[in-house]
Amino acid sequence: MVVANDNDLLTSKILPRVLIVSRRTLRKNKFVDFVGEYHLDLIVSNGAVPVIVPRVSGIHSMLKSFEPIHGVLLCEGEDVDPSLYADDAEEQQQGLSQEDIDEIRTLHASDTAIDREKDSIELTLAKLCLERNIPFLGICRGSQILNVAAGGTLYQDIDKELGTETKHIDYDNYDEHRHEARVVEETPLHGWFEGMDRIMVNSYHHQAVKRLGERFVPMAYAPDGLIEGFYDPNRYDPEEGRFLVGLQFHPERMRVSGSDEFDYPGCATAYQEFVKAVTAFQKKRQLDAAEMMLKNHKKKTLVKSLSMAELLEANTALSKKQENRLKQMGATVRNSCVYVKRKEVQERAMDKLSNERLSDLLSFHRMMARLCSDAIKRKLLEPTET
């Protein structure tokens, strides 16, 4: 990861923001929030800023304060609450006996504790991405959350429900564990992995996609038929800021033993394409904000051409000095432009804007300031005519 110096920090542009929800664990008898560093490194190294959303009570009602959101990455965590994708208690058990459920909880003790707060935060973000076309990448649990948000369902335990012979989790060999995955042709995953039809993937899950949301198309299958990756073909074009992808396996962990080298270049490509979409989405938002400003300027212009009578009526008569100055500039009092917007009116108008819109306006004005500054510098450097 490249570390910027002070000059870089002062002159750098405003980078796109990727929200990542933390996971909590118990350390020294206290809960601490964390996010896997592999994810953070891959976001930063590709030119975006990871913004960690803490998994704390009540944060789901404060998500608007994290605007602007240019992308969302959801990764590992506990089991998704089955009540979120099952209609009744019987369907929630999916044919599992109480003995089966107790055995699953014992075998997967670190993952089966339901975290409803994390569920609420992540489902809210996933649905927001679906509604507003915000780029989204889901890894492991994150892909399951995306599927549930789009109306899909999950296997609560693939061993019990599917009777699979494919080993999807190995508690004793977390990093080194691999199983085969068949890649579907003409999908983004097929392109990331340079046309390979089969890859060996790292996985760590006992739940998985059961019924895939209607908008999605599978990108890879495990030998037992489980979906290892999916995407929305109508929402995939990184150059245009579109990216909606779920991966059940862990590309960030697929590295050569004892090094940071990836098993396949495609592991890093998944994050590169995601950040490319995030960056394009940010630029589109800035352009949209600029266009909106121009439209608003035409509708609610701050500058009004006033006759002398209008000036007197508005109690904003020009002083003699101002009048002379206008005449020097080749203007007349009748056609002069006068700003009549008062400070309190401006403040009320700004208070009505969302944090997201204010941030977009700030980015736009900074960009315009930089362009104006560069233009002034060029003019100052031009040779003076004699």
Q: Catalytic site residues?
A: 140, 250, 252
Q: Which amino acid does the sequence have at 48?
A: A
Question: Cα separation of 77 and 58, whole Å?
Answer: 19
Its domain, for residue 194, covers 17-287
Do 260 and 324 share a structural domain? no
Residue 295 forms part of a structural domain: no
Same domain, 373 and 231: no
CATH code for the domain in which residue 80 is found: 3.40.50.880
Asked whether residue 234 falls in the same domain as residue 363, the answer is no
pLDDT of 297 reads 63
What's the confidence (pLDDT) of residue 321? Answer: 62
Q: What is the pLDDT of residue 9?
A: 45
**Residue 274 placed within a domain:** yes
- Asked if residue 364 is part of any domain, the answer here is yes
Which of 287, 306, 325 is at the close of a domain?
287
For the chain, the straight-line distance linking the first and the last C-alpha, in angstroms and rounded, comes to: 53
334 and 234 in one domain? no
Domains: count for the chain: 2
At 39 the pLDDT is 94
Q: Among 267, 287, 307, give the residue marking a domain's end.
A: 287
pTM of the model: 0.73
Q: Are residues 33 and 162 in the same domain?
A: yes
Residue after which a domain boundary falls, among 287, 308, 342: 287
CB atoms within 10 A of CB 15: 15
118/166 same-domain check:
yes
Same domain, residue pair 42 and 85: yes
CB–CB of 287/240 below 8 Å? no
Shared domain check, 176 and 119: yes
Predicted pLDDT at 24: 79
**pLDDT per residue as tens, the chain (386 positions):** 545 454 454 345 789 999 999 987 778 878 787 888 999 999 999 999 999 999 888 888 888 899 999 999 999 888 899 889 876 445 555 667 677 666 666 667 666 678 899 999 999 999 999 999 999 999 999 999 999 999 999 998 888 888 888 888 888 888 889 999 999 999 999 999 999 999 999 998 889 999 999 999 999 999 999 999 999 999 999 999 999 999 999 999 999 988 889 999 999 999 999 999 999 999 998 888 777 777 666 555 544 444 444 444 444 455 666 556 555 555 444 444 444 445 566 677 777 777 777 777 777 777 777 777 777 777 767 665 54
Where are the alpha helices (H) located in 300-354, listed in sequence order?
308-313, 320-328, 343-351
Note whether 46 and 172 are same-domain residues.
yes
